[in-house]
Structure 1
Amino acid sequence: MAVTATNAPDTTTRSDLELLDAWWRAANYLSVGQIYLMDNPLLREPLRPEHVKPRLLGHWGTTPGLTFLWAHLNRVITREEQDALYITGPGHGGPGVVATAWLEGTYSERYSQVPQDAEGMQELFRQFSFPGGIPSHAAPETPGSIHEGGELGYSLMHAAGAAFDNPDLLVACVIGDGEAETGPLAASWQQNKFLHPVHDGTVLPILHLNGYKIANSTVLARIPDDELLDQMRGHGYRPYLLEGGFDGEDPMAVHERMAAVMDEIVAEIARIRARAAEQLAAGEDVQRPRWPALVLRTPKGWTGPKEVDGHRVEGTFRSHQVPLAETRTNEAHRAQLEQWLRTYRPEELFDADGRPHAELLALAPRGPKRMSATPHANGGELLRDLRLPDFTRHAVDVPEPGSGPASATGTLGAWLADVVRANPDNFRIMGPDETASNRLQAVFEATDRQFIGHIQSGDDHVSRAGRVLEVLSEHLCQGWLEGYLLTGRHGLFNCYEAFIHIVDSMFNQHAKWLTATRHIPWRRPIASLNYLLSSHVWRQDHNGFSHQDPGFIDHVVNKKAEIVRVYLPPDANTLLSTYDHCLRTRNYVNVVVAGKNPGPQWLTMDEAIAHCTRGIGVWPWASNDDGAEPDVVLACAGDVPTLEAVAAVSLLRRHLPELKVRLVNVVDLMRLQDEREHPHGLSDRDFDGLFTTDKPVIFAYHGYPWLIHRLTYRRRNHPNIHVRGYKEEGTTTTPFDMVMLNDLDRFHLVMDVIDRVPGLAVKHAALRQHMVDERLRCRRYTREHGTDAPDVADWVWPDSTGPRM
């Protein structure tokens, strides 16, 4: 909320509240109609079976609370001229947010086939949870939504992500009491220690206690009020409790109390922000405030049927979904539905043509101030391109292949520091306390970690304002970044590779959101969700088996090809080129896996740019097929597999100089897929040109081997592709012992060539035996000395293999 908010004394009269109540009744009427009706939207005649949908889908229980909050927020928005975003945590509140968008006129602006009249109302009702219609959640199709809520737990972190760097924005986040039982939501209460009271917007958490989930009570609704409020105070909030609607209480009395509470909350927010601005202007330390939080307790299914078939419904779990489940076939249920709808007095709300009365329309804010029309919920409207500095200025000098060593992520960190400097208000880096561990610490030359809690002397690069957000919760990092991107900004999430799995389900939801928005014309493209996964499976020297899992890639490629991209740059220059590309893209999920440990550098910057542009290619300097058809192809994807593949080529050229070997490196993993399956896929002609149609292909891959087979199963030469990768063999050991455990080492790759190239197995049995002995020697050395054998640890690509091509 802007510091300049007027917060004028409330002049709300009884008639104002009656009008607000009418608006709420209209929203509820429209919500019930969406669940049940496909005809007769204004009840111009008694309900007949054909007026009711044959399949009743959707959820009523949480909806009246959501529309109640929307109505009261509109009152504040109009008075304060406030920019506001409404996040619907309860996933099943779709009817309510669709209804409010239609009442505000936004829905008809977005969907001309659903005008604000009787015909449009009928279409609004018919399309809801109907084949060819719209989903039952606050989906991408819903104006004003950035949070579908189909999976619970992420509303409050999305709210904070939206508020970062949005100082004039109020984010009202409704948290269902069922959602409040999830781990991610429990962690989200801590994010008030990261939101700056001047530079960032305000998040107003609204815990909506209606007592029940699908079939069971909720925890927070069944603990004493003092315990609940103490819990919220312990999280650093100033809670306000409002309850109403029970035992047939007059809704007008609840409206009156709610208006008073909202006025107090708005005034408190303005005082907090004004005081923080004064502290900042005076050069004082900006103290962490106790932000307001609202606890709203209302009956589940409020204003719905009190009883159905002798069972209490309002205020119980029975109102969660469809309180009257047989209205098409059960005359008594149908009559009760009609009675329910008429309690909202639609004749007072809509004119003869089905349009909301003018005084109702006048209650909504104007233009982009409407929560259903705010550009913050359609972030592409606000998106500005990043100013990306020239990454080539950070190029690692590579006079010969295998030069170095250098840290890929360490090199990237210096460029990211430049990105931060060039984009001080629309780019953030999120990570679970791993920015420095992943060797990105150069960014701290340009910024700090943002933290609004207590800062002690000796804390490293921690201040009130910073572009790096670190909290030891992958859920929060993911949710913050999603909220930040969905409201029109840019960023990246760096994480240990094994633990990015914690957000598998969140990634699912975001990828599905992006897929849906591609087919919604008014949804503008947003910046891509960029992952940087380091501390990866092959270099977990200290942590061992628990930290070894490259399977996030497998999970990602399950999603639509139009959305996902996976990159495995083999060195620092290719990582720079890759990430420059990723930060320029829109509506993708980009997964980049790169090592942090110093390693050999293979390509000059010009070569790296060309290689990354192709996404896949032959490395001529490592190959000796010299324009002829190779006898074998060694392929590699990932930094450690590339090192082992190049080392295997060196062994083959030394021991089998007559063997024609081609080395193919893959940066863009999706190039392996068929062009008919993925936009980045190679044509069959190009794939066959690289990998041949009938020669053995030994593929050293970063992750689980079967993914390469899955991507290439339609290729002509697939039967000859043999993949080495992670086989779920791990421990705390040396880097080379780790690759030996999984048979990805150079010696085993040479053995694979001998086994699979016709004529070599018998002819070069002694060489194969020597490779087995070398593995035993290296294993024995690690057990005796605790390190890898020097000839392996210090190995470099021989410069006697010829000039760079």
Structure 2
Amino acid sequence: MSDDLTQVDAWWRAANYLSAAQIYLLDNPLLQEPLRADHIKPRLLGHWGTSPGLNFVYAHLNRAIRARDLDMIFIAGPGHGGPAVLANAWLEGTYGEVYPEAGHGAEEIRRFVKQFSFPGGVPSHAAPETPGSIHEGGELGYSLMHAHGAAFDNPDLHVACVIGDGEAEAGPLAASWPSIRFVDAARDGAVLPILHLNGYRIAGPTVMGRMDDAALDALFRGHGYAPLFVCGDEPARMHRDMAAALDAAFDSIAAIQRAARDGTATPAETPRWPLIVLRSPKGWTGPERVDGAPVEGTHRAHQIPLPGVKDDPDHLRQLEAWLKSYRPDELFRDGAPAEALRAIAPEGVRRMSANPAANGGRLLRPLDLPALAPAEVEVPAPGAVQASANKALGAWLREVMRANPDNFRLFGPDETESNKLDAVFDVTGRKATGEVRDDDADLAPDGRVMEVLSEHLCQGWLEGYLLTGRHGLFNSYEAFVHIAASMFNQHAKWLRVSGGLAWRAPVASLNYLLTSHVWRQDHNGFSHQDPGFLDHVASKGAEVVRIYLPPDANCLLQVARACLESRDRVNVIVSGKHEESQWLSPEAARAHCEAGLGAWDWASDEVPPDVVMACAGDVPTQETLAAVALLREHLPDLALRVVNVVDLMALQPPPRNADGLDDAGFDALFTTDKPVIFAFHGYPGLIHELTYRRRNHHNFHVHGYSESGTTTTPADMAVRNALDRFHLVLAALRRSGRDDPAAEALAAHCRDRLEAHHDHVRATGTDLPEIRDWRWPG
């Protein structure tokens, strides 16, 4: 081999040694004495099978970085690839810079090896604790979309993304291959997918691992790639072939970007980006056979190839021979990489484990947020104006995109216009993925509105974009954001862990706008009616999540600005897109949203209340105020207080929510002994979960979605779930104990109007005019 490939091989051997040592060794990390059973961890946890392939790729990428001065980050898609990523970060010296106690040195390397999958240590994935990682890899399927999100608006960045063949079977990953069609070579960076086919999952062969090269070549050419194949098991030849493939790939990337940036590329032509298919044995360089059964190149190499080393002397001897086959005495000196090994690592921020893009908060620039005033709705009196909250938000987002042309993107399925955010198209188009035709609407090769009918892709791109130092917003139908619920879960956990790491700089928050929500899915029907994402989000705790239910346009604008200014959180905003009554002036909305919740004095009586009418959400607010108007008309002596909640998590008391309303404030607002009729956007149980520690919780009577839906009118959706004004009035009468003639007459009136509503809706297909055209009497 050439000198540079000999160096690559040395790095590969060192990384393989450290990967295996992390899985097995409690002590004696460099085999400076004969290996004994007491040097072995009591519980062998981790996965060997994918590590040698990841180390092989990493070593060769380092050669390319040095030769070409590339700005590159590394994404390890295979599950449980942690040993390899950790090993390379340690070899590069980054790990010791972040964690000096586990860096270079005799005692430090012992700690580094011991901590892997060990109590008080680090997990077996490339977790937030791992320098250089923006992708954990514990849940399969998201690596390629994270890689592309990182590349958007990052023109100098190269993202090397290793995809395991087991991961390639995941639905989100299968949907990710067309992501290259969303890359603008003139303004974006480049993603190099490296499909690592080692042939097996945990117990059986993988689909792509059993496909021949011709089939794979046809598949990826169909997706628009130019595949390069590196296949075999003989190290010297594989080193030569991998070096040649990477040189060809980076030459191709440079040519594509040069043509796009100097204007010589054909505008309508989608370039063929390179992709490498690497076939190598599972558990490559590990034990070939154990107890007479083949291991290397089979599913038995997936986890612990030598499971009995603690108790079986033959396994212990085999482990020692395996580790010594890497010749650690040549690779390490005094608990550190040998000088020759350190000399071949990239330097400074060119190390993939130290690249600032993988600690995106270091690169984060605050958004230039325009004034809200031009988008705000003038509200001369509560309920006097009808407007679409989302339309107002769209007008403001247009200016956000205008002011931040390389730092903010809007992501979502094909509903930007339907969701009333189409004002953004005054500034930028939808990202075109091929030819732009004359009859296409709002389509542009350099568009920054990322529309694709995959919630997984939308969220994955946004996560990669955020974690490398930018900002964005994901808008989705409320019912279908559940598709990406597991991705939310992983991101929220990432933020919780990274928030406790001083070296991880805060990143922009992941912001959701959930619209086309449960109460206005009357035409799509039951399948589109599910507000349960809020329950899932709330379970992650106020430390990392916020849930906002703005009742009108001006509150939505206030909330949206706060979300875009926030850091290290997941923010969920639920807002309807239809025209609705507007309640608060811009000034009142600002004060209300800063408080998070509060009494609306203009809708409340000045005396202590007999009943508190609470609401959270646009439709619940409308129905609550309609109920209050009915109660005031028929029972003027019944004292009412209207409480509106914008920040749902503010209901949760300290210390569970450090920013929650304290008990004194909660008691002053909701009283300590009066009934609270709470109209809520989602499932009622969530309000009880957030308030169960409060003194007056036993008096909370929550009306929300009760899984009763169909294709029907807007008002009938509320009636079916007892969220409508008439049911709220009946609840207030029942809980207040009023049984006088006036109360009985009002109850009879409500039951009568519910019957009339039932008959009218089924006869005409529309809501009663008195409901449809209702306005706050003021």
Partner of 1:725: 704
Q: Give the counterpart of 2:489 among 505, 508, 511.
A: 508
- Greater mean deviation of Cα atoms: 779-788 or 754-763: 754-763
Partner of 1:4: none
Q: Does 1:327 align with 2:294?
A: no
Q: CA RMSD in A?
A: 1.1
Q: Give the counterpart of 1:313 among 285, 291, 295.
A: 295
Q: Does 1:18 align with 2:3?
A: no
Q: Give the counterpart of 1:253 among 225, 237, 251.
A: 237
Q: Give the counterpart of 1:545 among 519, 526, 531.
A: 526
Task: State the AA in 2 paired with 1:239.
Answer: P
Task: State the AA in 1 paired with 2:406.
Answer: D
Partner of 1:148, secondary structure, is coil
Deviation sequence 1:678-718 (CA, Å, 0-9, x none): 12311111111111111111000000011111111111111
Deviation at 1:389, TM superposition (A): 0.3
Partner of 1:507, secondary structure, is helix
- Give the conservation status (yes or no) of the 8 Å contact 1:279–1:286: no
Task: State the AA in 1 paired with 2:120.
Answer: G
Partner of 2:518, secondary structure, is coil
Q: Give the counterpart of 2:228 among 225, 240, 248.
A: 240
Point out 4+ residue stretches in structure 1 off by more than 6 angstroms. none
Partner of 1:803: none
Q: Does 1:406 align with 2:387?
A: yes
Output the CA distance in 1 between the equivalents of 2:98 and 2:79.
22
Partner of 1:760, secondary structure, is coil
Deviation sequence 1:626-656 (CA, Å, 0-9, x none): 1x22100000000000000000000000000
Partner of 2:547, secondary structure, is strand
Task: State the AA in 2 paired with 1:267.
Answer: D
Q: How does 1:552-631 map to 2 (within 5 A)?
A: 552-624=533-605, 626=606, 628-631=607-610
Partner of 1:9: none
Partner of 2:103: 115
Deviation at 1:286, TM superposition (A): 5.5
Q: How does 1:309-708 map to 2 (within 5 A)?
A: 309-351=291-333, 353-624=334-605, 626=606, 628-708=607-687
Deviation sequence 1:327-362 (CA, Å, 0-9, x none): 1111111111000000000111112x1221111111
Output the CA distance in 2 between the equivalents of 1:225 and 1:386.
47
- Give the conservation status (yes or no) of the 8 Å contact 2:634–2:742: no
Deviation at 1:759, TM superposition (A): 3.4
Partner of 2:155: 167
Output the CA distance in 2 between the equivalents of 1:239 and 1:367.
32
Partner of 1:146: 134
- Give the conservation status (yes or no) of the 8 Å contact 2:268–2:435: no
- Give the conservation status (yes or no) of the 8 Å contact 1:494–1:534: yes
Partner of 2:719: 740
Deviation at 1:541, TM superposition (A): 2.6
Q: Give the counterpart of 1:275 among 259, 266, 289.
A: 259
Partner of 2:735: 756
- Give the conservation status (yes or no) of the 8 Å contact 1:287–1:452: no
Q: Give the counterpart of 1:128 among 92, 116, 125.
A: 116
- Give the conservation status (yes or no) of the 8 Å contact 1:153–1:180: yes
Output the CA distance in 2 between the equivalents of 1:150 and 1:210.
18
- Give the conservation status (yes or no) of the 8 Å contact 1:85–1:371: yes
Deviation at 1:761, TM superposition (A): 6.8
Deviation at 1:508, TM superposition (A): 0.4
Task: State the AA in 2 paired with 1:795.
Answer: W
Partner of 2:104, secondary structure, is coil
Deviation sequence 1:38-64 (CA, Å, 0-9, x none): 111111111111111001111100000
Q: Does 1:785 align with 2:764?
A: yes
Output the CA distance in 1 between the equivalents of 2:711 and 2:630.
28
Q: Give the counterpart of 1:188 among 170, 176, 187.
A: 176
Deviation sequence 1:8-48 (CA, Å, 0-9, x none): xxxxx622211210111001001111000011111111111
- Give the conservation status (yes or no) of the 8 Å contact 2:691–2:697: yes
TM-score by length of 2: 0.99
1:108–1:798 CA distance, 2 compared to 1 (3 A): same
Deviation at 1:762, TM superposition (A): 7.1
Partner of 1:240, secondary structure, is strand
Deviation at 1:404, TM superposition (A): 1.8
Partner of 1:203: 191
Deviation at 1:202, TM superposition (A): 0.5
Partner of 1:5: none
Partner of 2:46, secondary structure, is coil
Partner of 1:113, secondary structure, is helix
Deviation sequence 1:472-506 (CA, Å, 0-9, x none): 00000000000000000000000000000000100
- Give the conservation status (yes or no) of the 8 Å contact 1:154–1:479: yes
Structure 2 gap segments, 5+ residues each: none
Partner of 1:636, secondary structure, is strand
Task: State the AA in 2 paired with 1:332.
Answer: D
Partner of 1:52: 40
- Give the conservation status (yes or no) of the 8 Å contact 1:755–1:761: no
Partner of 1:71: 59
Deviation sequence 1:255-289 (CA, Å, 0-9, x none): 11111111111111111112222336x8x625210
TM-score by length of 1: 0.96
Structure 1 gap segments, 5+ residues each: 1-12, 800-805
Task: State the AA in 1 paired with 2:565.
Answer: R
- Give the conservation status (yes or no) of the 8 Å contact 2:94–2:354: yes
Percentage of identical aligned residues: 61
Deviation sequence 1:419-457 (CA, Å, 0-9, x none): 000000010000011111111001111111112312222
Deviation at 1:244, TM superposition (A): 1.6
Partner of 2:643, secondary structure, is strand
- Give the conservation status (yes or no) of the 8 Å contact 1:652–1:659: yes
Output the CA distance in 2 between the equivalents of 1:483 and 1:403.
43
Deviation sequence 1:192-223 (CA, Å, 0-9, x none): 11001110010111100000011111000112
Output the CA distance in 1 between the equivalents of 2:369 and 2:3.
55
Partner of 1:802: none
Task: State the AA in 1 paired with 2:307.
Answer: A
Partner of 2:439, secondary structure, is coil
Partner of 1:7: none
Partner of 1:10: none
Output the CA distance in 1 between the equivalents of 2:332 and 2:727.
77
Aligned residues: 778
Output the CA distance in 2 between the equivalents of 1:255 and 1:686.
68
1:576–1:629 CA distance, 2 compared to 1 (3 A): same
Deviation at 1:393, TM superposition (A): 2.5
- Give the conservation status (yes or no) of the 8 Å contact 2:127–2:135: yes
